[in-house]
Structure 1
Amino acid sequence: MDELDRKINSAFPGYAVRKDLVKMVRGNAAVPSYVLEFLLGQNCATDDEAQIAAGVERVKDILAKHYVQRAEAGAVRSDIKQEGYRRVIDKVSVELNTRRDAYEATFENLGITHVLVGADVVKENRRLLVSGVWCIADLTYSANEAKDESPFLLTMLKPIQMAGFDMGEHVRARAAFSAGEWVDVVIRTIGLDPSQLSGREKLYQLTRLVTYCERNYNYVELGPKGTGKSHVFSEFSPHGILISGGEVTPAKLFVNNSTGKIGLVGYWDAVAFDEFAGKNKRPKPDIVDIMKNYMANKSFSRGIEQVTAEASMAFVGNTSHDVGYMVRNSDLFEDLPAMYHDPAFIDRIHAYVPGWEMVIIRGDMFCQGFGLIVDYLAEALRHLRAYDYSNLYAQWFELSDSISTRDRDGVTKTFSGLAKIVFPDKEMSKEECRWLLEAAIEMRERVKDQLYRIDGTFERVEFSYADRQTGEVREVKTLEEAEYAGAYHARDLVAGPPATAAVPPAGEDLFDAREPEVEAFATAPVVAAEGDDEAGADGPALFEGHREFRENQRGASYDTLFGDYLEGAREVRVVDPYVRNFYQCRNLMELLEVVLRRRDFSLPEVRVSLTTAPDEYPGSHQEDYLAQIRDAVAPMGVDFSWEIDRTGTLHARHLYVDDRWDILLDRGLDIYQRFDANDAFCLEASMPEMRRVKQFEVTYLKVGE
């Protein structure tokens, strides 16, 4: 167990579970993850391996003996009749039969109805009346002649989901964690390893959960296959439903005019449409019209009545082209069915999560440590639906007056949802508030920018906000605009240079609790440069000044960053305290490859030296890696040496080139997001410019003049 494992178990006793155990106990039982995790939380909440193994066997035994498979329901009903008694695990829902003045239960898998339930049981477990609850139940059999009564008698019913929830207790337990730690707890609870996700990827994982804690929230995520877009809607919460295929009738979704029964939006907190994209799909026009009205007004009309509901809607699907193609040739909504590729529908989307920034889920990315049982977090989010956090940012920031009411609603609802998840006690710093606000602005701006491309009646909007204390105005831009500035606003008659925006001051990284030397989530442009490019007498002009790169940007490699400055270099000195682990030493090797490509072969050799800090962890291979680098480049005319600075004062990162340039690197050489360097077919491994980067800054200073 690591420190975060221990904190989770200490702060949430009984609600912590080791996430890798779920696969061990599932077997062929079609039981939702939140049910399995509840059982595991009751039996395996310990760090003792022997007790965990015994607990896993108990859970397996419980499922094997009592879980009702639909295909075996008839045999189980027969066993109850012949044996007179059976304990079962099934999903149970209850309705009040006013004619009998009694509560009646329906067992979903077992296929029996009208089973009498005591009023005291219903009073203690009100969710039985709403969405149904997975339970362990004892049933007996007693034949009777009444047509409307069931021969099955309920003698015991015990929920195996959260039967109750204490919001005050949740807020107090959350206070034991820093913001970054809590984000990692939520990511672990979803089932993923936070150490393998970037800050923006963690943020988007949280945004998927906003549909559960924010009423009438409309969210879309389009991107490549295999990024886990639909996971949180199928496995995370008992309060959400995933509609496969993305198509549904008005009667099922809203109201059945024949029976007057309300549809899915009246029963679920989140209704998600899987595989929503697909130009060949032909949804019925009436459902699109009703959906647009519901998304805008929280109500819909079917028949003669106006009906109000609170369900949030999520639309997830796959894109058929990469983001570069969409930006240059169409728009980011191009894969939607024609009926939904409608400005009126798109304008009602509060947030667009760019699925192409999400990593493809691999087997090694699933969490192996402790997280919360998902049913606990799902209940926390459901309770937070009743609260409004949308104005928390107003004490520090003010949105631009140019942002319309609908855009403002999108920003504030996303901000409110993210704040509920990360800061349920409403206690956040100014910079933490800024991170969430900028993220919310960017996700709504992505929607509005596409409307500008699709419909000529829409005008460009400057998405900015002002600091109430300093008066500073910051403009927020999407990552796509920064990466494809020339093509992003295709309707622009005159294309100007990318706007310059301020970078948030350095501070604790909200989305990465692993180490202090990490990027903060920000929405600065890809390149914000100040300086001059005056040509020198000895060659072409080289940029002098400051550049900023955003997290998840592509196109930055050591060659594009430093190649021109290393052209014909005689001596290169690298100062970076974090050249310790294998991947950091591999980064150094890639820099030396650039030195080799730019070498002046009229010189006998190029001298390259490294000053770094020691790796004090037991079993360190730091000097072994550096020796291997020295031996590899020596035959190619590169004299590589290193010095280990043990004073503990080394911090700033520099790249000195001869006596001409001092290049300041705020992150050193550690600029790349994680990628699979061992995959022979991984483009990022062989093409550094295809890698996504962490947020970093570079300052080019000319020296020796």
Structure 2
Amino acid sequence: MDNLDKKLNEYFAGRVVRKDLTKKIKEGANVPVYVLEYLLGMYCATEDEESIAEGVERVKKILADNFVRPDEAEKIKSKIRELGKFTVIDKLTVKLNAKKDLYEAEFSNLGLKGVPIAPHYVKDFDKLLGGGIWCILKMDYFFDEDVKDASPFNISNLTPIQMPNLDLDEIMEGRKKFTKDEWIDILIRSIGMEPTTLDEKVKWHLLLRMVPLVENNYNLCELGPRGTGKSHLYKEISPNSILVSGGQTTVANLFYNMSSKQIGLVGMWDTVAFDEVAGINFKDKDGIQIMKDYMASGSFARGREEKNASASMVFVGNINQSVESLIKTSHLFEPFPDAMSSDSAFFDRIHYYLPGWEIPKMRPEFFTNDYGFITDYLSEFLRELRKRNFSDSIDKYFKLGNNLNQRDTIAVRKTVSGMVKLIYPNGEFGKDEIEEILRYALVGRRRVKEQLKKIGGMEFYDVQFSYIDNETFNEEFVAVPEQGGGKIIPEGMNRAGHVYTVARGKNGMIGVYKIETEVINGNGKFEKSGLASDREAKESIETAFKYFRANSKNISASISLTNRDYMMYVQDIAGVGLTPELSLAAFVGLCSGAMNKPVQSQLAVLGSFSIGGTINKIEELANVLQVCFDAGAKKVLLPMSSAPDLTTVPPELFAKFQTSFYTSPEDAVFKALGVD
């Protein structure tokens, strides 16, 4: 044992288990991890390898002889009848039958109902009434034909093999014996991972995965590569969470069934996790709207009633391309289905975006062979913490900056509360400890807000998240690695004929377009590509060439239309669909290529014109400029007709650019090329 294992066995004797033993037996036994680990905690909590080996064999024998498989239920019932008594392992749920004034048990795998159970078991193990417990049961069989409606099965002895109750004080006292780093390592080992092989940042991400289990109504999104264990915690580790695989569900299943008057998954589980977000699909038209309502308030309306529930929502899924590519061409919520990915209000309800690409793919060395809490003990501890609240723990030391709106504040406070519950459950922490958690919480919410800015524009402009020290009044800002646009518009001079513009694409999002013009010897032909079958985009490029042919001599006498061929390629960099607003940028590109003179460095040429040269005003100027800034533009060329709209642009955004105005297409060319 290492020192941490020894301390863990000293202060939490019988509550811990060696995780490599779980792996060995789990591979050959289809039984819940929390049942298996409880048995291992009973028979293998020792340093002696010989005793451990004996304990493992005993656990295997118990499982082989007594665990009830659903497909063998009838065989086991027959055994109980023929032998008169038999020991089984099954999950038991108890209800009070008020008409008969007795408690009745229901067996999960055995399929028995209405089996009477002695009141003292219910009194001693109250969890039997709240979701059920796995137990070892000695069963008797006695059929009395004189007694009607009575079950011949009888429970003569019951021993829980899950934690029947939890002593929270024991954990709070035990926590005092460990440092912060030791306690984090214990939690990581308890979910089966080896902390010594992981970076500090990865450890925090693994802890964040547990926050939905300790915090009520917490909304978490984690997207990343395959094989990073995104859904493992919710499926295998916690008996209090459910993983909705495939994403197909109904309002009745998830929220409330109006015909049976029963609440759905959000009322029965602490956490509802959706695997593979790309496949989320409600059969009901109002499904996403009800989900938005629930994620915002913890309640939803069905029929005439409003229902409340406390389940957290977790959305996990895969990103199928590099994060760098996704940042440049779209946003980090892109894997969500179309019904959600265009709805900024849905994503605004997500409290934290966990960057799954920062967690390594699971390899054998990442799994621990050391001691951790028995899974069931950990799960009950996490569940008990849902009753506590640490969301005000930042107020003693810090205030949040003015860029955080109410939803941002709620999100950050919830994350802080959840992380404090995990790391400092006894509430013993200082200023430095809370600042570390606060910074982490702000980064995850800002990641959400940065993507909302891309989807929803200026409505989500306030992303400069900060916190202020109550003593020094010093304001600290936090950044996220993905906040930039990846500098689509590069520094330095482009080749002649290459021009960038920003406009609204077919799918409604504002995107960046690059126009490349090549001029070669020829006889005046014009070829265009990259436009697919988009009629409006083609017309806009043709408008540019017709105007170029009619007015090129106003630009320069050196431009030749008879012995040169012009080839133009349009690239939709952001993948938002082509736009009809390409004429001005295309005209600038033709002139730049014909004169062999590049446009100015980091310039975005904005606007469009008609066949007669009439300049069109830019719609949603503030949103367009925000995308220009994210894409790396330092200079913008605007039509004079858009000057009055500058009042809609936040001053701090407008100040980021060197701005020039043009009054005609020819004027735009001169200013783009830097020609007086």
Q: Which secondary structure state, in structure 2, belongs to the residue aligned with residue 47 of structure 1? A: coil
Structure 1 residue 458 corresponds to structure 2 residue 460: yes
Q: Which secondary structure state, in structure 2, belongs to the residue aligned with residue 99 of structure 1? A: coil
Structure 1 residue 140 corresponds to structure 2 residue 134: no
More displaced 10-residue stretch of structure 1: 75-84 or 338-347: 338-347
Structure 1 residue 424 corresponds to structure 2 residue 410: no
Structure 1 residue 478 corresponds to structure 2 residue 449: no
Once the two structures are superposed, residues 75-102 of structure 1 have per-residue CA deviations (whole angstroms, 9 ceiling, x without a partner) of 1111111111111111111122222222
In the alignment, what sits opposite 2:653?
none
Structure 1 residue 391 corresponds to structure 2 residue 399: no
Q: Which secondary structure state, in structure 1, belongs to the residue aligned with residue 137 of structure 2? A: strand
In the alignment, what sits opposite 1:161?
162
Q: Which secondary structure state, in structure 2, belongs to the residue aligned with residue 53 of structure 1? A: helix
Aligned equivalents of 1:258, 1:147: Cα separation in 2: 32
1:469 pairs with one of 468, 471, 474: 471
Contact 2:188–2:195 (8 Å) recurs in 1 = yes
Which residues of structure 1 form unaligned runs of 5+? 499-705
Letter in 1 for 2:398: F
* Structure 1 residue 394, shift from structure 2 partner: 1.6
Q: Which secondary structure state, in structure 2, belongs to the residue aligned with residue 332 of structure 1? A: coil
Letter in 1 for 2:360: V
Structure 1 residue 57 corresponds to structure 2 residue 66: no
* Structure 1 residue 467, shift from structure 2 partner: 1.4
* Structure 1 residue 142, shift from structure 2 partner: 1.9
* Structure 1 residue 24, shift from structure 2 partner: 2.2
Compared CA separation, residues 218 and 144, structure 1 to 2 (3 A): farther
Aligned equivalents of 2:121, 2:311: Cα separation in 1: 27
* Structure 1 residue 266, shift from structure 2 partner: 1.2
* Structure 1 residue 326, shift from structure 2 partner: 1.1
* Structure 1 residue 386, shift from structure 2 partner: 0.9
In the alignment, what sits opposite 1:109?
109
In the alignment, what sits opposite 1:523?
none
Aligned equivalents of 1:496, 1:139: Cα separation in 2: 70
Q: Which secondary structure state, in structure 1, belongs to the residue aligned with residue 96 of structure 2? A: strand
Pairwise CA RMSD:
2.0
* Structure 1 residue 346, shift from structure 2 partner: 0.8
Aligned equivalents of 2:488, 2:36: Cα separation in 1: 51
Once the two structures are superposed, residues 373-427 of structure 1 have per-residue CA deviations (whole angstroms, 9 ceiling, x without a partner) of 1111111111111111111122211111221010100001011000100001111
* Structure 1 residue 18, shift from structure 2 partner: 0.6
Compared CA separation, residues 283 and 347, structure 1 to 2 (3 A): farther
Q: TM-score scaled by structure 2?
A: 0.71
Aligned equivalents of 2:252, 2:425: Cα separation in 1: 36
* Structure 1 residue 496, shift from structure 2 partner: 10
Aligned equivalents of 2:139, 2:109: Cα separation in 1: 14
Aligned equivalents of 2:314, 2:3: Cα separation in 1: 35
In the alignment, what sits opposite 2:226?
225
In the alignment, what sits opposite 2:191?
190
Aligned equivalents of 1:496, 1:154: Cα separation in 2: 70
Compared CA separation, residues 410 and 51, structure 1 to 2 (3 A): same
Contact 1:143–1:151 (8 Å) recurs in 2 = yes
Letter in 1 for 2:246: G
Once the two structures are superposed, residues 568-619 of structure 1 have per-residue CA deviations (whole angstroms, 9 ceiling, x without a partner) of xxxxxxxxxxxxxxxxxxxxxxxxxxxxxxxxxxxxxxxxxxxxxxxxxxxx
Aligned equivalents of 1:208, 1:332: Cα separation in 2: 18
Structure 1 residue 47 corresponds to structure 2 residue 47: yes
Once the two structures are superposed, residues 151-210 of structure 1 have per-residue CA deviations (whole angstroms, 9 ceiling, x without a partner) of 211111111111111111101101111101110110000100101111111111101111
Contact 1:84–1:141 (8 Å) recurs in 2 = yes
Compared CA separation, residues 179 and 497, structure 1 to 2 (3 A): farther
In the alignment, what sits opposite 1:326?
326
Structure 1 residue 170 corresponds to structure 2 residue 171: yes
* Structure 1 residue 371, shift from structure 2 partner: 0.9
Q: Which secondary structure state, in structure 2, belongs to the residue aligned with residue 324 of structure 1? A: helix
Q: Which secondary structure state, in structure 1, belongs to the residue aligned with residue 217 of structure 2? A: coil
Letter in 1 for 2:130: V
Contact 1:283–1:339 (8 Å) recurs in 2 = no
* Structure 1 residue 486, shift from structure 2 partner: 6.3
Contact 1:346–1:447 (8 Å) recurs in 2 = yes
In the alignment, what sits opposite 2:81?
81
Contact 2:485–2:631 (8 Å) recurs in 1 = no
Contact 1:285–1:339 (8 Å) recurs in 2 = no
Aligned equivalents of 1:425, 1:445: Cα separation in 2: 29
Q: Which secondary structure state, in structure 2, belongs to the residue aligned with residue 95 of structure 1? A: strand
Structure 1 residue 292 corresponds to structure 2 residue 292: yes
Aligned equivalents of 2:153, 2:55: Cα separation in 1: 32
Aligned ranges 1:183-582 → 2 under 5 Å: 183-278=184-279, 281=281, 284-341=284-341, 342-456=343-457, 457-481=459-483, 484=486, 491-494=626-629
In the alignment, what sits opposite 1:647?
none
Q: Which runs of 4+ in 1 moved over 6 A?
A: 485-490
* Structure 1 residue 108, shift from structure 2 partner: 0.8
Once the two structures are superposed, residues 114-133 of structure 1 have per-residue CA deviations (whole angstroms, 9 ceiling, x without a partner) of 11112221122121112111
Contact 1:116–1:153 (8 Å) recurs in 2 = yes
Contact 1:278–1:335 (8 Å) recurs in 2 = no
* Structure 1 residue 347, shift from structure 2 partner: 0.9
* Structure 1 residue 144, shift from structure 2 partner: 4.2
In the alignment, what sits opposite 1:653?
none
In the alignment, what sits opposite 2:508?
none
More displaced 10-residue stretch of structure 1: 146-155 or 79-88: 146-155
Letter in 1 for 2:476: R
Aligned ranges 1:25-44 → 2 under 5 Å: 25-26=25-26, 28-44=28-44
Larger radius of gyration between Structure 1 and Structure 2? 2
Aligned equivalents of 2:282, 2:335: Cα separation in 1: 13
Contact 1:184–1:194 (8 Å) recurs in 2 = yes
Contact 1:449–1:460 (8 Å) recurs in 2 = no
Letter in 1 for 2:409: R
Q: Which secondary structure state, in structure 1, belongs to the residue aligned with residue 262 of structure 2? A: coil
* Structure 1 residue 256, shift from structure 2 partner: 1.1
Once the two structures are superposed, residues 530-588 of structure 1 have per-residue CA deviations (whole angstroms, 9 ceiling, x without a partner) of xxxxxxxxxxxxxxxxxxxxxxxxxxxxxxxxxxxxxxxxxxxxxxxxxxxxxxxxxxx
Which residues of structure 2 form unaligned runs of 5+? 490-573, 575-622, 634-676
In the alignment, what sits opposite 1:71?
71
Contact 1:91–1:132 (8 Å) recurs in 2 = yes
Q: Which secondary structure state, in structure 2, belongs to the residue aligned with residue 212 of structure 1? A: helix
Contact 2:420–2:427 (8 Å) recurs in 1 = yes
Once the two structures are superposed, residues 276-315 of structure 1 have per-residue CA deviations (whole angstroms, 9 ceiling, x without a partner) of 2248x56533221111111111111112211111111111
Aligned equivalents of 2:379, 2:401: Cα separation in 1: 34
More displaced 10-residue stretch of structure 1: 415-424 or 66-75: 66-75
* Structure 1 residue 236, shift from structure 2 partner: 1.5
Letter in 2 for 1:463: F
Contact 1:226–1:360 (8 Å) recurs in 2 = yes
Aligned ranges 1:595-610 → 2 under 5 Å: none
Contact 2:89–2:135 (8 Å) recurs in 1 = yes
Q: Which secondary structure state, in structure 2, belongs to the residue aligned with residue 91 of structure 1? A: strand
Aligned equivalents of 1:56, 1:348: Cα separation in 2: 46
Compared CA separation, residues 29 and 346, structure 1 to 2 (3 A): same
Contact 2:454–2:627 (8 Å) recurs in 1 = no
Q: TM-score scaled by structure 1?
A: 0.68
In the alignment, what sits opposite 2:541?
none
* Structure 1 residue 26, shift from structure 2 partner: 2.7
Aligned equivalents of 2:354, 2:472: Cα separation in 1: 31
Letter in 1 for 2:66: H
* Structure 1 residue 110, shift from structure 2 partner: 0.9
Aligned equivalents of 2:114, 2:286: Cα separation in 1: 36
Aligned equivalents of 2:20, 2:484: Cα separation in 1: 39
Aligned equivalents of 2:358, 2:8: Cα separation in 1: 29
